A and B are shown apart, each in its own frame.
Chain A
């Protein structure tokens, strides 16, 4: 006996509208958050932007006493530490992905994959405290003296490895960042490699190619876009990483020719100085640094997502 109660249907329709609007509002809030981040940072940075103009990004000076601020040293530190991190993490991540997709015994595949993902779950402050108390002394005692002695006097690259072994500094920050972004790069590359059709690989093996030749000549060309996307995703993390770097960078607002020397990055400057900043211009300059970081990382991450999406549209699922 199906009797349609008109009141009931009307009520259902109202519930439906309410629920739909609630989900839509939540979805739009996500857009608003990103817009809000940009607008609020711009507003906070405005005094510094109008006061210093473009010279903010070209000057190295950072002097709270005379109230003069320039972002060049933090920008330099951010870029150099991230480049060092990428130089280490990209080949290592590629190696791990290669191991997991081609070499690993099936029984170990899952545990090792999970271990790599757990490395990604460790909070950044833990990497910081470990970097400061464990990694920095090791680098200071064993690695940096070797670099100074053997590479320090070479032409061109020599100046990068001059000066005393501080332990903390740009190089150490780069190494810690490398370990932090390694799991992201390795996991993305593994997922991308898994999307290569087995037929292609088997064709390679059928022609008598070695594992490495199949990897380099079949898998890599096929997944180029995804590899670059994974690298850029890692780069985005490295550029914005804060706590781990703050522990080991040494927080010195200057640009040294040596990567063994202390430096600073955008995020570690903000973390170190924000709560102690007195005066509107000082605070505003730090927020301007944040705005710069936002624009840089947004560009890198957006480009990475666009690339990974292109891969997804070809019919592959990428985590």
Chain B
């Protein structure tokens, strides 16, 4: 293999890539936007539960709840104020306590306490708050209530180490960067085929293997370097860098193979965009697993990007090393080799 020829081709491809305004802007702006997005998103999770209370004629319950750890309570002077604050999501829950609560309890009545929830609160959190409020009321008011409680942890239990949204987004954004590079490479190759410049190249001492190798190096190099820049800025390389580097490399090879395949299937830029969108939609499905742990189902594991996202997530958030993500690495390696082989064969057939 003549590496001088490969270097010449790489220089040419980098020149062409840099002169494609759309993809150069997309590449630079993409990484910058994702880094900025990461930086402007909150870096911590506020785990304090904010509860509003309207307790006419008393402040006993308000004080008692306020002493509990992790709960911030605010007393409202009217029911309407309380309802409005909860409605606007400024409080996660609101308690409406009836007049003369204690006299009613003493008299043996079963007074009614109304619990309001913020509109955007999910069912799991509503249930959790309901249980907690019942326990608090029974503890404060001394009223015994027998409650059957069932708890379950969905997905990764992050009760004590909840992830900020921006961290959860890291694997997804890394995948989007890889997807962008896949489209850039597919566009570059498709243009080369469409304008038949590849014919001119093949009339020089170059062989088709040289061209494939240079494109593979360019695609993998561009995708890998951009994800690594993104991960370096967002702190993704601090924990287990070997595991992150390896899984990113395999992901980059996978998208390069897909870039080959898309280029082979496409006749023009519109085809590249259409195929690219289809692949991206499919590849983003497993990202819901990273954003909403517990929603991932078994069939999602059939999508190659699952192993990329899961591997990055585990490495970043659970400090898993190479051994813990070995299955992800193996599956990703299998997919990368398979897709790259199919991509090269398809491109060879198209070129012939």
A is bound by B:
no
